[in-house]
Structure 1
Amino acid sequence: MKTEETSKSAFWSLAHARAFFVDHGFLRKVNNNNFHRISHRAFRSGQPLPPDLKKYVSRHGIRTVVCLRGTKGSRPYIDLVERMCGDLGVTFRNFKMSSHKPPPRWRIHAAKELLEEIEYPALFHCKSGADRAGLFSTLYLHLMEGVPMDRTRQLRFWPYGHIRQARTGILDHFVESYVAYSQREPMDFMTWVDEVYDPDALKDLEPAGFMSWFVDRVLRRE
């Protein structure tokens, strides 16, 4: 029994170490884990370490954590957050999004359903808190708070670190496509998603070059 407990303790200690070093947790410490308030009941951040999550829950009453990275098992630092949520009595939801591909229609619908069913206050996090957290926060503000899409301002370099000059700029094109269309022909967002939105058309707008290399290879945005 003691050997099993020691083994589990070693596993979670290793997961914490990987989160800090391999997953760039030490860099996120520099900017306070890119933690920001979105509204009175929602927040966004990079991948939290257990002490970070404990602080957010204590200070802001977080009831749901939405991980936008999607993959578990092969990345124990994601499982580490889920385990910490269980210890804190907080609901953990795993919802995969991409920072460099246009979201498919079904995923936008799934995001809307998730936003409507979770308990708030909620924390939305990805790896760096810059791109996927920015798009999910945009959807939250527009769909749940009624903020006009062009006023959500969640996909910005400052203070979030989002870089539109790289492949992550596809998220900007997605949002701007709806804004431009609705200005010409007023239409609510979900109707546009179902009747007008063409993810394949946006793929032609994917930039290349140094900034994409830097974001993909150095920052390792997912």
Structure 2
Amino acid sequence: MPAWMRWTLALLISTMLVAVPWIFYRSTYAYSKRFREVTPGRFYRCGQLTAPGFRDVIQQFGIRTIINLQNEAPDPFIRESYFQKPSIRESEVCAQLGVKYILLEPDLLNAEEAPYGRPKVIEDYLKILDDPNAYPVLIHCKAGLHRTGLLTAIYRMEYEQWSLGESIRELKANGFGDDAATEANAYIVQYLQKYRPRSQSKPVVPAVPVSRTR
């Protein structure tokens, strides 16, 4: 075999050894992007999934309400697979499976409003979670880190009486980092530090009794 052919074959094999695992990783990642079980049977979180990813999660965990936190993508077209172009609306996938689809636009970066009060989006969010018929709930943004992490922390403090410290530790344990590519990081921590759960002024009874597990 000529030397050039051996080099070409070696290059081809090397490329496949790198490309195939990478493609498999990316397709698997997109399918279940940062999916986390927050409270079993009640509350779940993730990033933007593919259509099959949503279908699997909905059917496996009995999801009844999906809350999309992407103000930049109110009803995104999503992929049927990693190799296909986005072709179906997220709300359409939900409608097919009888799931309620809700858009919340968490514009929490208004420093004049959010740290000193409860923005309307939070009031709307709590109103959804106050309804026992909404559960199990799945919330997501694009990456499943910042907006999703913030509203998960608020859920913990409001409905499971977690402390601020516990909520922030979980926020960071699920991928929120000081060096992540967003200037919202410091603001989100600041917002949580100033947030006052309703339970501090009046009792809040969870819609479903929950057991505290780690």
* Contact kept in structure 2, 1:68 and 1:133, CA below 8 Å: yes
Give the conservation status (yes or no) of the 8 Å contact 2:66–2:139.
yes
Residue 74 of structure 1 and its aligned partner are, at CA, apart by: 7.9
**What pairs up with 1:177-196 in 2 under 5 angstroms?**
177-178=194-195, 188-190=196-198
User: Per-residue displacement from partner, 1:123-182 (whole Å, max 9, x unpaired)?
Assistant: 0000000000001111111112222232123421x4x3223344121111111234xxxx
Q: Which residue of 2 aligns with 1:17?
A: none
Aligned counterpart for 2:122 among listed residues 92, 100, 108: 108
Match of 2:178 among 137, 157, 164: 164
Secondary structure of the residue aligned to 1:97 is coil
Q: String of CA shifts for 1:50-103, please: whole Å, max 9, x gaps.
A: 110111012111111111113557843497111000001111111111475554
- SS of equivalent to 1:29: helix
Distance in 2, Cα, partners of 1:89 & 1:54: 11
Higher helix share: 1
The structure-2 alpha-carbon separation of the partners of 1:139 and 1:176, relative to structure 1 and needing over 3 Å to count, comes to same
Unpaired runs of at least 5, structure 2: 1-25, 79-85, 202-214
Contact 1:42-1:123 at 8 Å conserved across structures: yes
Identity of aligned residues (%): 21
What stretches of structure 1 of length at least 5 have no aligned partner? Answer: 1-25, 179-187, 194-222
2:106 to 66, 88, 97: 97
Aligned length: 158
Secondary structure, counterpart of 1:171 in structure 2:
helix
Alignment of 1:35-54 (within 5 A): 35-40=35-40, 41-54=42-55
The alignment's TM-score, normalised by the length of structure 2, stands at: 0.62
Give distance in 1, aligned partners of 2:74 and 2:154: 28
Greater alpha carbon shift after TM alignment, 120-129 vs 29-38: 29-38
Specify the alignment match of 1:12 in structure 2. Answer: none
* Residues 47 and 129, structure 1, Cα contact 8 Å, conserved in 2: yes
Rg (Cα) greater in structure: 2
Matches within 5 A, 1:1-222: 26=26, 29=29, 32-40=32-40, 41-72=42-73, 75-77=76-78, 80-98=89-107, 103=114, 105-117=119-131, 119-152=134-167, 153-156=169-172, 158=173, 160-165=174-179, 166-169=182-185, 170-178=187-195, 188-190=196-198
- In the alignment, the residues of structure 1 paired with residue 150 and residue 109 of structure 2 have an alpha-carbon distance, to the nearest angstrom, of 11
